[in-house]
Amino acid sequence: MIKSFRQYQTIFSIVLHSYNNDKITSMKLSQVNYTKLLAILISVILITGGATSCKSKKKLAREKAAAEYATKVEQSKKDLTAIINGTSPWTFEQQSDKVNQIKSYNLDDPEVIEMIKKAEEKIAMGIAESERLKEEERLKLLEEQKRKKDASKYTEIDKQLKSISASSTIDAANKKIMLSMDQFASPDVPVLIIISQSGGFNDYDRPTTISKFLHYLKDKQQYKYQVESLKKDTLGKITELELIKK
Amino acid sequence: MRFSYLLIAVFVFVGSFSSYAQDDLSPERKQAVDSLALEKVRDLSKYISIIGSKETPWSEANRVIDRAEELFMPESEIGVSSLNNPNNINYYAVRTYFERLMRLNYKKVEIEWYNIEYMSDLQRQPDGTYVGVITIFQKFKGYDAEGRLVYQDTTKKDITVFVKRKETQIGGRLIGFWDVLLGDMRVKETSK
């Protein structure tokens, strides 16, 4: 404002000076001269006024741009913090888009630049972890499919074993045991019972024989196992039975 | 000389640590072993009710006695109490206990075990054996020829459980298994 006022003063003094000079040199001023003076004054006011207004607009624009920049920095920090802390509701793809958007602002705030780096690392780690989990899930599914397929292979023998445990009398169970024994190479065929599986490693119960196991099913009156694998000899008789506890 | 001692000490420490790490069970495996031990006690419960039942044929009862005996460590004992003589608890060798149970002088016997749970969890001992105590409540009912209930009691019993990892060769494969064996069965309380 002060600067603009000074400009008015300067211009006005020039105009007055010119007018005084006219007054001194000729002292014969006419009505036309006053009109001329007024026109000059109006022109000066319009020109200087316009120039000042232009200067204000630029300043306003600068202030507006600064405010916008500050808002962008603040919002970017907020978004990046959410990504780094893993509290954002966005998917990894959305997080990546967000970081790219922030990068496109070309903010020269050192904190934002550092945060972008951290956010990118965090997203990369998240994507890698997500892919690992997906792969794990896929392998688990394959394993489950394989288990189901294998299980269906042994459905018949599972049914027989369950039927022994569900017998209503000791005699009925003994008859079923005798019939089942025909499929085995001997009453001493080993029966292995898996009690837990972890990391490709099996934990077993104390091994028993098929004879003892079939009678055990009769005594316990429950079959909570599933045939996991079996081995047969050249005659097609079972020589080893592996069960898993359900 | 001092350096050699230090070296030996380091080897012993590292060796014992790696051996500890090998035997240290994951929670999933520990849970499976806990369940296995509980299952053995439930098996015993079933065997006792079969042996005690007057409906069980003699040959079946003897077969089940063999199976039940296999659940115990050698020289284990089982306590027997009676409301008729509450201060006197008799301890019998496992086989003797089952044979007495089979010959009890009732027309009908009902034995039921319930609330089978760990009183103290399986804890690893320095020799690698896991030892715990499982508590059970046993409800005994004896009936005469007329079908009248002539005796009943409820006994709280503690059974010591020993679990040890062992290995055996089966079909050319080395199988690692958990051998669960029951120890003494001690009477803690007897009530009507």
Residues A112 and A199 in one domain: no
User: Chain A contacts of B31, Cβ < 8 Å?
Assistant: 196
- Find the range with the poorest average confidence among A12-21, A89-98, B6-15, B39-48: B6-15
Residues A114 and A165 in one domain: no
B16 found inside a domain? no
Q: How far apart are CA A9 and CA A55, in angstroms?
A: 18
Give which of A192, A194, A206 to mutate to test B binding, by max B Cβ within 10 Å: A206
- Find the range with the poorest average confidence among B40-49, B68-77, B82-91: B82-91
The pLDDT, as a whole number, for residue A9 is: 60
Residues A51 and A111 in one domain: yes
B67: which 2 tokens? 């199976």
B9 found inside a domain? no
- For every residue of A152-191, DSSP letters joined together read HHTHHHHHHHHHHHT-SSHHHHHHHHHHHHTTBS-TT-EE
B134 found inside a domain? yes
The pLDDT, as a whole number, for residue B121 is: 96
Q: How far apart are CA B121 and CA B34, in angstroms?
A: 8
Run of H or E residues at A230: strand A225-232
Residues A100 and A21 in one domain: yes
Domain final residue, candidates A97, A121, A145: A121
The pLDDT, as a whole number, for residue A2 is: 46
The pLDDT, as a whole number, for residue A45 is: 76
- Interface contact B38, partner A, CB < 8 A: no
A128 found inside a domain? no
Residues A194 and A91 in one domain: no
B48: which 2 tokens? 């006792």
The pLDDT, as a whole number, for residue B20 is: 41
B4 found inside a domain? no
Q: Complex ipTM, two decimals?
A: 0.86
Q: Please, which residues 169-188 of chain A have a Cβ atom closer than 8 Å to chain B?
A: 170
**Chain A residue with minimum CA distance to B178:** A205
The pLDDT, as a whole number, for residue B43 is: 98
| Cα within 13 Å of Cα(B76), Cβ side | 22
CB within 8 Å: B176 and A204: yes
How many domains would you assign to chain A?
2
Q: What are the pLDDT digits (tens) for B96-125?
A: 999 999 999 999 999 999 999 999 999 999
Domain that holds residue B55: 26-191
How many domains would you assign to chain B?
1
A132 found inside a domain? no
Residues A96 and A164 in one domain: no
CB within 8 Å: A204 and B175: yes
A103 found inside a domain? yes
Residues A187 and A232 in one domain: yes
CB within 8 Å: A203 and B33: yes
Inform me whether the pLDDT recorded for B94 exceeds 50: yes
Residues A110 and A161 in one domain: no
CA nearest to A230, candidates A151, A159, A160, A176: A151
DSSP 8-state symbol, A29: -
Q: Enter the pTM of the model.
A: 0.64
CA nearest to B155, candidates B123, B185, B179: B185
CA nearest to B132, candidates B145, B144, B123, B140: B123
Run of H or E residues at A156: helix A155-165
The pLDDT, as a whole number, for residue B22 is: 42
Phi/psi at B109 (5° precision): -125, 135
CB within 8 Å: A240 and B175: no
Q: How far apart are CA A216 and CA B42, in angstroms?
A: 12
**What mean pLDDT value characterizes chain B?**
90
**Could you tell me what percent of chain B has a pLDDT over 90?**
82
CA nearest to A15, candidates A36, A31, A46: A36
Residues A12 and A106 in one domain: yes
Q: What are the pLDDT digits (tens) for B133-191?
A: 999 999 999 999 999 999 999 999 999 999 999 999 998 999 999 999 999 999 999 99
B12 found inside a domain? no
Q: 3-state secondary structure string, B46-106?
A: HHHHHHHCCCCCHHHHHHHHHHHHHCECCCCEEEECCCCCCCCCEEEEHHHHHHHHHCCCC
Inform me whether the pLDDT recorded for B75 exceeds 60: yes
Inform me whether the pLDDT recorded for B4 exceeds 60: no
Domain final residue, candidates A121, A140, A175: A121
- Interface contact B50, partner A, CB < 8 A: yes
Residue segments in chain A with a per-residue pLDDT below the cut of 70: 1-32, 48-54, 151
B124 found inside a domain? yes
Domain that holds residue A76: 2-121
- Interface contact A126, partner B, CB < 8 A: no
Q: How far apart are CA B146 and CA B102, in angstroms?
A: 20
CB within 8 Å: B180 and A231: no
Partner residues linked to A221 by β-bridges: none
A168 found inside a domain? yes
- Interface contact A114, partner B, CB < 8 A: no
B79: which 2 tokens? 């306590």
Instruction: State the residue for tokens 């190479």.
Output: A185
Residues A168 and A100 in one domain: no
Q: What are the pLDDT digits (tens) for A90-129?
A: 999 999 999 999 999 988 899 999 999 999 999 999 999 9
A147 found inside a domain? no
Instruction: State the residue for tokens 């009477």.
Output: B187
B17 found inside a domain? no
Residue B145 sits in a domain whose CATH number is 3.10.450.50
Residues A17 and A115 in one domain: yes
Calculate how close chain B gets to A115, using CA atoms only, in Å.
39
